[in-house]
A and B are shown apart, each in its own frame.
Chain A
């Protein structure tokens, strides 16, 4: 058996996931007016594609049984990549319509508060890594489903104040940078803890039930012993995870540059100090 066999065997093609993703993409195209905004559509479709990839590719098949690191990669996609892409794809008009529905606006207002959104996002991430809960998810498909769904929902709440489609729903840029930076510290901290934790934090990965017969390739061909696997999982969260936050911070910095210039160059929004304006004589003249 080769690596390619393993990768081919471990696609799960869960019907519910395929159907769900197709429905999501179809609904998006159906509800979008014409012309399609390419940027938004591309972002949303990429988000759906990565969602499908995360839930049906070998990341899922291997992560379910064999590899903590594959499971971590899957979670990183669900937490850090899919939600922002989907949010960036949403049309502003839809958000306005949704906010007009009674009850939605107050709820959105509460969830958008930085402390609330941050605690929900990072709290969910940390809670599921408590060994008892994580092991339960590996043993029970329903708990596992709840884990993935809660990651998606909590991370959507987390990313909403950073990249919501309406400017007035987003946090001020400096605040957003601190928000993302604090999140990267927390998530990197968790990654560091997992990297240096004792092997066997999640015992199911120590001796997987090798129903597909791929274990020899994983242990032999890829040299992923349980200890290395757990270390790679922690490192994935620590380093590439941190880099995703860095990209978001840089994008926010770019937004800030545009906004602050626009703001400062508007006339008449400052408090006059009550003095006469005097032209300043340039020292270069």
Chain B
């Protein structure tokens, strides 16, 4: 490995143990984990597909009795949840896990062990969700589980509990995956690979990871509150106990709308990689594609209420959200224009991957236009909860994201396996999918406009309804057939596909510079990079404007602004902050709209909690001082201050426990009123964070006693201290919010 031109401080690939299946299960290699993501999500894709076929079979004729209403409710809930949380989002993350380190010229992903954890959290979440079938009934409250339907009195089985737990698990995995990808992109790029030269797929994964860190914690926090409602009899979203069901909708869509873009931005990235290669032209307007991605991501955070026009938010709110939602069409339109302009006068190669990209352009545009139609509030009221919405979202998620994913499979399969997929079977797959998809969903626009409601297990025999549904169902069978062709093509090509070679498509991003499949360490040497198309630039030095000192590029060392571990911790803290913001909003909301029952000013003692606050602030000071000692090389003193920090943290937890005990004995509980529910949720989760921080500090302490941390600085100590200071800062906010606010008027 001595001839490697990558600097030593870039992480080397993590070690792999074992052989055979165990080598996969225990793998820490981002390529193996990426492939496992794709396999697992394909399995879930088949499960979700079977659910869809069962529903379509039930709907093949009016007043059919193939499936009863209860089963139908379970089916559409499981289908939506599976496709969104276990297929589209993780499949895109799987591609990102495989490709991002290769595209930025890195040896491995930033945190290989956390990468494996992300994947297994996904699998675990999926299994939890499906275990609900065994445990007494699948969830049946829709993929968004609107309260109060999802509350205990209306969903008595454990289905919704498993739904929430499963999503919580996949959600944690998604957040850690987002952190991992972001740190990889920001800190591990090869020399010359500036952020402005990132392949567009990687750029979109970066923007997407920002969205993940902002959106998924919102979902996690609301799931936690829903679970507390269901399992501990709180009423945060339950109107019968004074809670607000609309609050759940706000939370869910504050997550749910960015989620739409989380499921489509990396798909945009796939398209932006494939179209230029098969048009033999660079992407038209790289800067506009990149910047419009950032604009979409930002706008997606402020438009969620357009999912709630039918709730009755009021005229003014509807108006503003209608306008911002229309605005999203502008950056999206810019993208479609850029892709089309890339095709213009290119010499096109109509491979299967390219065909899926072209179909994506048309299908996504249709889905986008029907999406804009919802921003007209009266239209939205008219078609809300009809098949028009079903048609729209499938044009975006199947005609959009899934077609892009198919394109990605055909394009990168040779890189992952060393063999090309069969083009004849590929064309069959494409045409069957294209015809089947449009047959299934185009007609549903009409059914929706005719008023056919979604999420109902059958329909009356009205003129044309039976015929149109029949067409739709036949289309879905054709679509299913196309997926079988696709799976067969992959299995067959694994053994019998033509040898691919390093760069079968004549592409120009870095993953094509290495072998197919790439060696465990990805690259023997990373080529020098001075433009946006590194391999094309190498082949055309003059035309690409190669600088005279280009040889020097290979010797450069990129020093990231901060160690990856610390960057990862900061991003994790960012996602945790979002999580707490949601819990804080719940508390503040019910503080301003109190329900009957004890309130903060009646039962809390600000002085005792103030003493507790002093302990925690002091622990931040001792930790800071201890690290100062460490930097001066005074190890003994460092260990001593670390011990003081641990004692102070433990005192805080002790004080917190006393306060809780006092409240519980005077019958202030989670179930009593909304103050109790939100107070215990907020302080409980903070206490849990203190407890985890304390465990980390104890680990540091033991390791220090065993002789670790002999240097002046240590990334581990720095990261743990960042976390501890964050936990303290959260408490200062909570103390102000809960204790000061209650008593200052």
Contacts and interface: CB of A to CB of B under 8 A. Distances in A.
B552 A250 contact: no
Contact of A279 (B295, B547, B551): B551
A264 B194 contact: yes
A271 B559 contact: yes
B539 A277 contact: no
Interface in A250-285: 250, 253-254, 256-257, 260-261, 264-265, 267-268, 270-275, 277-280, 282-285
A195 interface: yes
B294 A282 contact: no
A228 B404 CA distance: 44
Contacts of B316: 228, 231-232, 235
A239 interface: yes
Contacts, number: 111
Contacts of A246: 295, 298-299
A238 interface: yes
Contacts of B527: 280, 282
A96 B177 CA distance: 47
Contacts of A243: 324, 327
B326 to A, nearest CB: 12
A61 interface: no
A242 to B, nearest CB: 5
Nearest to B545: A265
A257 B196 contact: yes
B552 A277 contact: yes
A129 to B, nearest CB: 15
Contacts of B538: 280, 282, 284
B525 interface: yes
A47 B530 CA distance: 41
A164 interface: no
Contacts of B7: 273
Interface residues on A, range: 35 or more
B295 A260 contact: no
B294 A249 contact: yes
B280 interface: no
B324 A270 contact: no
A271 B556 contact: yes
A186 B264 CA distance: 27
A260 B320 contact: no
Contact of A283 (B315, B320, B502): B502
A57 interface: no
A235 B527 CA distance: 51
Contact of A284 (B196, B314, B503, B554): B503
Given A231-B314, A268-B549, A282 B535 contact: yes
A268 B539 contact: no
A231 B502 contact: no
Nearest to A180: B298
B191 interface: yes
A260 B561 CA distance: 14
B195 interface: yes
A268 B552 contact: yes
B552 A272 contact: yes
A155 interface: no
Contacts of B291: 250, 253-254
B370 interface: no
Nearest to A173: B195
B314 A273 contact: no
Contacts of B512: 283
A273 B298 contact: no
A260 B203 CA distance: 15
A283 B505 CA distance: 12
Contacts of B323: 239
Nearest to A181: B298
Nearest to A274: B555
A238 B302 contact: yes
Contacts of B559: 271
14 contacts: A232-B316, A239-B302, A239-B320, A239-B324, A250-B291, A257-B287, A257-B290, A272-B556, A275-B5, A278-B3, A278-B554, A280-B527, A282-B527, A284-B536
Given A250-B291, A280-B554, A284-B538, 4 more contacts: A257-B287, A271-B557, A273-B555, A280-B528
Going nearest first, the 8 A-B pairs with the smallest beta carbon separation are: A277-B551, A270-B556, A282-B538, A267-B549, A284-B539, A235-B320, A231-B316, A280-B527
